[in-house]
Amino acid sequence: MFSFLAQPYPARDPRFSKAILQALLSGFLIAFILIVFQPFGSYNWQHPYKNVILGGFGLVAVVVNLTDFFITQKLFKPYFAEHSWTVWKEILRNMAGFILAGFLCVVYGYFAGLMPFSLMQVTYMVAVCFMVGAFPATILILLNYAYLSHKYSAPIQPVPQSQPIVTPDETTLTLVAENEKDTLTIPAESLLYIAASDNYCTVFYTEDDKLNKTLLRSSLSRLESQINYSRIVRCHRSYLVNLDKVSSVSGNAQGYKLYFDVAVEPVPVSRSYNTVVKEQLLVC
């Protein structure tokens, strides 16, 4: 009945700018609700700096979000990997955030002179955070899962280019590592994809119908700048893919996955590249 909870769900955007924007938006929303609607008896509370103090709880929300991004995700990086992220993990992550928020609210309230620092007060504030946020957050996650699953569920059948238009310089790829010594020269049409991990890139390509892999110390952006072949495109912050080698496409709530006739792992397409990749796959 609840098997959908184990289905893939997109991990949070790893970009710093997105984390800052999400933290500021959540903080503004909390501050706005507390100042304008003044729930939980705060309407009857009088203080010359009442709005400033209530707005400070919005700052707590900012801290909670940034703690998740800068500390939790860094300390437990393998746990937050996209390939293993699911609906129930996203819900659990939000629940943990509400517990932290309740605790930090008591810390803030104690130093602001609003409440005692005690186990009972922490329990109360955690309960308040759950009452305010747990239900709507869970509903939003489930709605987002349903929307993304529907959006990416329809398979795409790539239309290969029977006669790619290339120049002589495009028929061969020469990839040069950062040390300027290690190089890999292959026919452009033999490349499957390039995957980046830390300071290295793994080049996947075929030779005599056999899969080969070569590791180069280089950033993906550096290798991308060395490629002048129109059908080799960026599809993810960690992947370059040769669209002519894609045999099929499927998707789930995390987005599209590109498959090949060769026995390799499917390549993910990040949501920011969905439209570009989809349009080029369907171009004959």
Q: What is the pTM of this model?
A: 0.77
Q: Residue 39's closest CA among 132, 110, 105?
A: 132
Which amino acid makes up residue 265?
E
Do 156 and 282 touch, CB atoms closer than 8 A?
Answer: yes
Do the Cβ atoms of 182 and 226 come closer than 8 Å?
Answer: no
Token output for 95: 């629940």
Residue 256, beta-bridge partner list: 251
Say how far residue 220 (Cα) sits from the centre of its chain: 18
238: CB partners within 8 A, 6+ apart: 195, 196, 197, 220
With a CB cutoff of 8 Å and minimum separation 6, the contacts of 84 are none
Q: How many helices (H) and strands (E) does the chain have?
A: 8, 10
Q: Which is nearest to 23 in space by CA: 69, 77, 84?
A: 69
Give the SS3 label for residue 55: helix
Alpha-carbon gap, residue 195 to 219, rounded angstroms? 10
Strand locations in the chain (E): 172-176, 183-187, 191-197, 200-207, 210-217, 232-236, 239-242, 246-252, 255-260, 267-268
pLDDT per residue, tens digit, the chain (284 aa), is: 678 899 999 988 777 888 899 899 999 999 998 899 888 777 888 888 999 999 999 999 999 999 988 888 888 888 888 888 999 999 999 999 999 999 999 999 999 988 999 999 999 999 988 888 888 899 999 999 999 998 887 767 776 655 455 554 558 899 999 998 899 999 999 999 999 988 999 999 999 889 999 999 999 999 999 998 888 999 998 999 999 999 989 888 888 999 999 989 999 998 888 888 888 886 54
CA distance 7 to 72: 22
